[in-house]
Amino acid sequence: MTSQCLAGAAVRDAVFADLRARCAATGLRPGLAVILVGDDPASQVYVRSKGKACESLGFHSETHRLPADAAEPELLALVARLNRDPAIHGILVQVPLPSHLSAARVQAAVDPAKDVDGFHPENLGRLLAGAPGFVPCTPLGVSVLLAHYGIDVAGRHVAIVGRSVIVGRPLAMLLSRKGDGGDATVTLCHSRTPDLAAVTSACGIVVAALGAPAFLDRRHVARGAVVVDVGINRIDDPEAPKGQRLVGDVAPEALDGWASAYTPVPGGIGVMTIAMLMRNTYEAAAGRGARA
């Protein structure tokens, strides 16, 4: 079977071209502030990519670095200052935070109008209610990527493996909502789902977001299904230039030559996540919450 590779770069390029045109037409200069606490290596990489994306779009960007032992009041004071800063339209608190800090408390302190990550309870509630608001970037990226490649989820059965607030649960809301980009029947799976393979192999679209390298194989994916691999896992590989490489949550045997279409890792949903962060930041600068 010939499988279509759903690359994120083509979609990102289209999104960026649209944002550049909208900035030129409106004269807006969106501003994004990223807060990084500690020195988690993966977080450093993500924060650098976000800065580069801002630079390529001509957005204003700031990175605020706090030591790993920063106290929560210090972090909350920084968030409050950025909430008041008129040059900043989007605020992102890079997770994971060190364990003595509460990500939920810090995210709830971000002004919902600047919550471009979409993790504020108000924006999550809006998503649940079907009201306009910021949608978390990774699920939004999945939805926009599928639409770009003409994969309509309406009336289809989608299995999502992973129920986190960052990925699985908001994605279930997006794909099952009434109307454009929605109308799917969604089954949300997790670690207590009995016989996962029986559930996922009965679905035409499988989204893997569990964080386990190459966990889903051909038993989990029906031949000809669409596979969206959200997973980003670093595994040791002595052959790789840095001794490590990135792999998804789906084994290669269940992708190219088996699925009808699949997202690559890297180069799939990770690329989309950053593109959607830029889109949300533009929408924040324009004074409105983004929707899929």
By the criterion CB under 6 A, which residues form the site for ligand NDP? 138, 161-164, 166-168, 189-193, 196, 209-212, 230-233, 249, 269-270, 273
Name the residue nearer to ligand NDP (CB basis): 83 or 176.
Answer: 176
Residue sitting closest to ligand NDP (CB): 164
Nearest to 37 by CA among 117, 119, 116, 101: 101
Q: How far is the CB of 164 from ligand NDP (least distance, A)?
A: 3
Which CB atom, from 61 or from 94, has the smaller least distance to ligand NDP?
94
136: nearest Cα among 279, 7, 28, 234 = 279
- Catalytic choice (50, 107, 114, 249): 50
C-beta separation of 245 from 265 below 8 A: no
Q: What are phi and psi of 245, to 5 degrees?
A: -145, 165
- Tallying the residues shown for the chain, one arrives at 292
Task: Write down the least CB distance from residue 55 to ligand NDP, Å.
Answer: 19
Annotated catalytic residue 117: yes
Inter-residue contact 8 to 35 (CB < 8 Å): no
Query: Which residue stretches of the chain are H helix?
Result: 8-26, 41-57, 72-84, 103-109, 121-129, 137-148, 168-176, 196-200, 269-285
From the list 94, 114, 229, 249, the catalytic residue is 94
Nearer to ligand NDP, 122 or 229 (CB): 229
If you ran DSSP here, which 8-state letter would residue 98 be given?
P
CB of 245 to ligand NDP, least distance (A): 14
**85: DSSP letter:** -
State how far the alpha carbon of 278 is from the alpha carbons of 20, 78, 247, 261, in Å: 11, 22, 25, 26
In the residue annotation, 50 being an active-site residue is answered as yes
Choosing from 107, 114, 115, 117, the catalytic residue is 117
Least Cβ distance, residue 192 to ligand NDP (angstroms) = 5
Please state the closest distance from residue 187 (CB atom) to ligand NDP, in A.
12
Please tell me the distance from the alpha carbon of residue 160 to that of residue 154, in angstroms, as a whole number.
15
113 or 173: CB nearest ligand NDP: 173
Q: Which of 48, 12, 33, 104 is nearest to 285 (CA)?
A: 33
- If the CB atoms of residues 259 and 265 are measured against ligand NDP, the closer one turns out to be 265
CB of 160 to ligand NDP, least distance (A): 9
Q: Per DSSP, what are the bridge partners of residue 67?
A: none
10 Å Cβ neighbour count for 220? 24
Instruction: Based on the residue annotation, tell me whether 94 is a catalytic residue of this protein.
Output: yes
- Choose between 91 and 269: whose C-beta lies nearer to ligand NDP: 269
Residues marked as catalytic: 50, 94, 117
